[in-house]
Structures are given as C-alpha cells and as structure tokens.
Structure 1
Amino acid sequence: MPENKEPILIIGNAPITADIRAEVDSYTRVVRFNFCAGMPQHLGRKCTDLWLSGRGRQAHKLVHSHLDIDAQQLLSLVITDPPPNPVTQTCFRLLGRQGSLDHGEALMTKFAPAHSKKRITAAARQQLLAELLRLGQPECKPKWPSSGTQAIAHFVAAGTPVHIIGFGFQGWKRHPWRLERRYVAKLQEQGKLRYLA
C-alpha cells in the first residue's frame, strides 16, 4: 500500500453491528452513500465525501429528505450517474417514467457548500464495468457498477489506500455483485485495499 497518503474509509450500506465510532473519527476522510444506512450512532457522524445516486425514486427522495450531514464539511459530492440526455429526460417526463428521471442538478444545489461537486462520466462507468466483466461471468446482464465499487475504483486509481466496511455485495439486480466481490478481493491481494477489522 502507498505509504505517502493517508487511507480513506469507505462505509457501505450493508448492516454493521460493531461500534466503529472511534475508528471512523480516526480517519481524515470518510466516504458514505445515499441515505448512509440511516447514520446510526454506532457508525459515527463523520462524512467528508458523499456519493449519491442521481436518478430514479431514491434520488428524488434524497432531494426532498433531510440528511443529517453538514454540507459545509463536505470535501466532495459525487453523483454516480452521468449527465442525462435532455431529450430523453423530456420523454421520460411525458411518459411518467419516474424511475428514469435525473435529479443530479437538484442534489448539486442541495449540497452546494461542498468544496467539490462532480458527476461520474459515462465513459468512466463503462470502463469500470468492462474491467469487472474481465473477472468472469456476471449473474445477469449488468447495467453499471454499484456506487460503492465506483468509489473504491476512484480512490484506488488516485493511489489512495482504501479501507472499507459495510460491503455485502448484494442489492439491485443490475449490479454485477459477484464480479465486484472478486474485484475487491483482487485489490486486497494487491495491497491496495483492506477491510476495517
């Protein structure tokens, strides 16, 4: 693992029963996702990097719900869906396809105080999916990698040591969970990632 950078902690949304408040507070940067698994007390409060889904009902709910996160303390906000096609979005609205509507700009506005705000590009997302597909056969035809795996890939590519907890590799059926597990195991073998004990 690179020694010249502090590790970053990425907290997934799988259930975590252990009290990790002290460990969370020891990291300079802590990444969380969407509703942050409810931010229960035993998972600490620190959140410096927030990765959010930009499309569908969950994104709509994120826009209109209170997240107990101080946007002034956010170093980065990342929307994990690429910028939408305006024509397609208009069609979705006319057809009432709520699950396909993009709310990325509204989320950017909601968390405007974040020091850095960006969206994952379609090219970056497809490149990661292609890398995952080289690891074997997926359970079904995947659409794109999960937000958690996108975050892991992002920080590993930057040369940042990554520590993770709360990754269960299950959920929406269009993520290649089996391949994501293999990808994380490969990074672990390479010394680029470790699980928070």
Structure 2
Amino acid sequence: MSMSGRVIMIVGNGEVPEGAAAAIDAADLVIRFNDCRSTGKGGSKTDIVAVCNTGRPALAMLGGGRWKTSEPVRQAREIWSVRSGARFAAMRARLATTHPDLDDFCDDYTAGFESFARATGRKHRVIPAETQDRLERDLSRFEPSRYVVPSSGLVAIADILLNGASSSDHFVLAGFGHSGWVWHPFAAERRYVDALAADGRLHRLDQPISSDLPQGA
C-alpha cells in the first residue's frame, strides 16, 4: 500500500550503503551539503545544497570556480546557508578566548552565497538562528561533550523537521557517520538522531523502513 507525502532524502558526506544511489535518486527531494562529496555512490540528484556559510569552508567554496560549476551545485534549485551570521558574530569574542585558533571561524560569507544564488537564478535561504537555539536545547538532553557548534548536517535536519515538514512527509538520512571535526558534538548528535529514528520521525537508509513508505517520487 502506498502513502501520500514526499520522500525527503538528507545526504551527508559520510559513507552511504551499497545500492543507495537508486533510492536517493528516486526521492522527491534530495538535500546535500557543501562540496556534495556524497554524489556518485550516493546518487546524483540534488535539489538543495546546504552550505556552511562561515569560516574556511565558505571561503573555499566561494573562492574558486570548482564548487560553483560542479554538477550538484549546477543542478540545485536552492542554496541554504546553515549559519546565522549575526549569531556567529556574537560568538567571536568568546571564541577569541576559548579557541584562539578559530580566529576566522565566524567570518560571514552569507552575502556571497546570496549573490551567487541570485546571479544563477535560484533561491537562497538562511536557516533561522532560532533553529540552532532549539537544537542546542534538545542536544543538551544527550550530554554533549564540550563543543563549539553542532554540525551543519544536524542543523539542517532540525530545520527541516521544524520548519519544512508536512505531516505526510517521510525523512530518510544517508551518509551521516557522526564523525569529523573535533568541535562538533558528534556523539550527542548520533544519540539525538537515534532518538528521532526511535520516535519514527525519520529513518536511516541502512535501517529497515516501513513497507508503507513510498518508493519513489
């Protein structure tokens, strides 16, 4: 039996299961991140690229032509900036004391992504600061170790569940290994996502999904 509603695939840049490409490309909406390293084994369809719009990752993406002309970015209809520039600007003084090596971490390149999106005829959106505030409150239940900010992937997941979800939508994650930069609270992030999965709010692609889930667009 089929069900109404979209299948929204959120694809991180970690390892994806064998055979994932077909399932990802069959989704109604596919969201990827930054340089979209998930393409290939993780399929090719890309509707939204969510970017880390502050610091070195943002500078690298905007600083040369490779990101702008890559196939996933060319295909995307929307660019989402994950971080609130004002929120990160407010962090700068504290980080100068606690993490002086992150002196460029709060540099805001949102305007560059907005300009690129406008010039290429696509939508640009900034995820509201309130989304990260809510996420950090929710993460506190999972006893995160000392961290700077949640990962861009987790902010995007929280945003979609809070601001972009219809009650009939089905959310599927792939490529989320919950490991990487030392100042993201990855252990707590894994527990947060596992709790969402246990509540049936989303599924991981490598875990069993209800046979009622639509298998395609």
1:143 aligned onto 2:159: no
Structure 1 stretches lacking a partner, 5+ long: 92-96
- Pick closer, same or farther for the CA change 1:11–1:71 going to 2, 3 Å: closer
* Cα distance in 1 for residues equivalent to 2:110 and 2:81: 6
Q: Given the two structures, how large is their TM-score scaled by the length of structure 2?
A: 0.75
Partner of 1:57: 56
Q: Contact 1:155 / 1:162 at 8 angstroms: preserved in 2?
A: no
Partner of 1:181: 190
Q: Considering Cα pairs closer than 8 Å and 6+ residues apart, tell me whether 1 or 2 has the greater RCO.
A: 2
1:127 positional shift: 1.4
Cα deviations by residue, 1:108-153 (Å, 9 ceiling, x for unpaired) = 222334643111232221111111112x32121x232211111212
CA contact (8 A) 1:12 1:165 kept: yes
Q: Distance in 1 between matches of 2:38 and 2:12?
A: 12
Shift of 1:24: 2.0
8 Å Cα contact 2:113-2:124 kept in structure 1: no
* Counterparts of 2:59 and 2:32, CA distance in 1: 18
Give the residue type in structure 2 aligned to 1:125: Q
Q: Which residue of 2 aligns with 1:79?
A: 81
User: Contact between 2:44 and 2:72, CA under 8 Å: does it hold in 1?
Assistant: no
Q: Find the aligned partners of 1:139 and 1:21 in 2 and give their Cα distance.
A: 34
Matched with 2:29 is 29
CA distance in 2, matches of 1:109, 1:71: 14
Q: CA deviation at 1:33?
A: 0.3
| Shift, 1:56, TM fit | 0.8
**Paired position in structure 1 for 2:71:** 69
Amino acid at match of 1:181: R
1:163 to 166, 172, 179: 172
Q: Given residue 133 of structure 1, which amino acid in structure 2 is its aligned partner? A: S
Q: SS in structure 2 opposite 1:36? A: coil
Q: Which amino acid aligns with 2:46?
A: C
Matched, 1:109 2:115: yes
Number of residues of Structure 1 aligned to a counterpart in Structure 2: 186
Distance in 1 of aligned mates of 2:137 and 2:149: 9
Rate the CA distance shift 1:194–1:167 in 2: closer, same or farther, 3 A: same
Aligned to 2:181: 172
Matching residue of 1:7: 7
Equivalent position SS for 1:42: coil
Contact 1:75 1:116 in 2 (8 A): yes
Post-superposition offset of 1:6: 1.0
Which residue, 125, 130, 134 being the options, matches 1:127?
Answer: 134
2:97 is matched with none
- Percent identity reads 26
Q: Distance in 1 between matches of 2:17 and 2:196?
A: 25
TM-score by length of 1: 0.82
